[in-house]
Amino acid sequence: MAISFYKYQGTGNDFVMVDNRKHNFPAEDEALVKSLCDRRTGVGADGLILLQDHPDYDFEMVYYNADGRVGSMCGNGGRCAVRFARQLGVIEDVACFLAADGEHQASVERDLIQLKMNDVKEVEQVGEDYYLNTGSPHYVRFVEDVQALDVYEEGRAVRYNDRFKAVGTNVNFVQRLSENEIYVRTYERGVEDETLSCGTGVTACALVASLKGFNSPVKVKTLGGELEVSFERTEEGGFKHIYLIGPAKLVFTGSIPLQS
């Protein structure tokens, strides 16, 4: 037996996408998901996404980290899932879909996908750093020179500290580039390495930038390309009407032989 897959990427965060509307993908097989994401012995990806039918939504996105475990929300993956749904003919230019953190609306405009993220109620300050959940948990630290940083080492120091070692966290390092632009590098939980970009991380960093005086929209550079985040602040210290805007592209398609 074989399963068709599609490889997508959004600002360099890459995903194996599978049309699982017929429920023929053995998603409970953690080792299979992990091996497909392996960059030497598999397709190679930061995560795997199943697109499934849902009675109340255009589709459901089920996200797995590269380690094979079912994950939380993925912002770059969400944009890729919208592009994939459009290619499959599941949607046209707008979508309302379900992900791990609930409902998301999205629209497609040429190369760009605008993805609505869930409201953020609070941002915790941790010393000079910040911790918030934008669908996935994100630790945010502003630094002077993000290019010079060893993101792997510094990221792991936070990821495996006493607070986070059991549940994990993504760790973002941010440099201010100008009054409306930041540069973000992210150590991703579940990949356990730096990725080229992380959508929920970029969103988290833009919201923290707002606390530091930035206005919406915030432009964000990553190793894998550029994104934009727009938002409104709430009177209670949170954020609403949060949109992550950026590209999502099909890279190639293929077929996976499955041992029966």
Ligand X SMILES: N[C@H](CCC[C@H](N)C(=O)O)C(=O)O
Contact status: 188 vs ligand X (CB under 6 A): yes
Of positions 185, 189, 216, 243, contacts ligand X by CB under 6 A = 189
- Determine what percent of the chain falls in helix, strand and coil, rounding each to the nearest 5: 15, 45, 35
> At 35, is the secondary structure helix, strand, or coil?
helix
Any binding-site annotation on 20? Answer: no
Structure tokens given for 225 = 């390309």
Shortest Å, Cβ 176 to ligand X: 22
Q: Is the Cβ of residue 13 or residue 210 nearer to ligand X in the bound state?
A: 13
Any binding-site annotation on 161? Answer: no
Of positions 9, 20, 52, 76, contacts ligand X by CB under 6 A = 76
Of positions 68, 75, 224, 247, contacts ligand X by CB under 6 A = 75
Total binding residues for ligand X by CB under 6 A? 17
Any binding-site annotation on 188? Answer: yes
Any binding-site annotation on 75? Answer: yes
- Quickly count: other Cβ atoms within 10 Å of residue 256's Cβ: 17
- Of residues 15 through 74, those in contact with ligand X by CB under 6 A are 46, 65, 71-72, 74
Helix axes 199-211, 75-88, angle to 10 degrees: 130
Structure tokens given for 139 = 């630790």
Any binding-site annotation on 76? Answer: yes
Q: φ, ψ for residue 7 (rounded to 5)?
A: -100, 120
Of positions 9, 20, 118, 136, contacts ligand X by CB under 6 A = 136
Q: Cα dihedral angle (13, 214, 107, 22), rounded to 10 degrees?
A: 40
Where are the alpha helices (H) located in 89-198, listed in sequence order? 151-159
Any binding-site annotation on 118? Answer: no
- Of residues 195 through 254, those in contact with ligand X by CB under 6 A are 198-200
Q: Is the Cβ of residue 168 or residue 210 nearer to ligand X in the bound state?
A: 168
Rounded CA separation 48/116 (Å): 21
Q: Is the Cβ of residue 92 or residue 111 nearer to ligand X in the bound state?
A: 111
Shortest Å, Cβ 237 to ligand X: 23
Rounded CA separation 87/167 (Å): 35
Catalytic residue numbers, as ranges: 74, 198
Judged by phi (left if over 0) then psi (alpha if -120 to 50, else beta), residue 58 lies in: alpha
Of positions 155, 190, 246, 247, contacts ligand X by CB under 6 A = 190
Shortest Å, Cβ 132 to ligand X: 12
Rounded CA separation 55/176 (Å): 44
Rounded CA separation 111/73 (Å): 22
Rounded CA separation 53/73 (Å): 18
Shortest Å, Cβ 224 to ligand X: 10
Enumerate binding residues for ligand X (CB under 6 A).
13, 46, 65, 71-72, 74-77, 136, 170, 188-190, 198-200
Q: Which residues are annotated as a binding site for substrate?
A: 13, 65, 75-76, 170, 188-189, 199-200
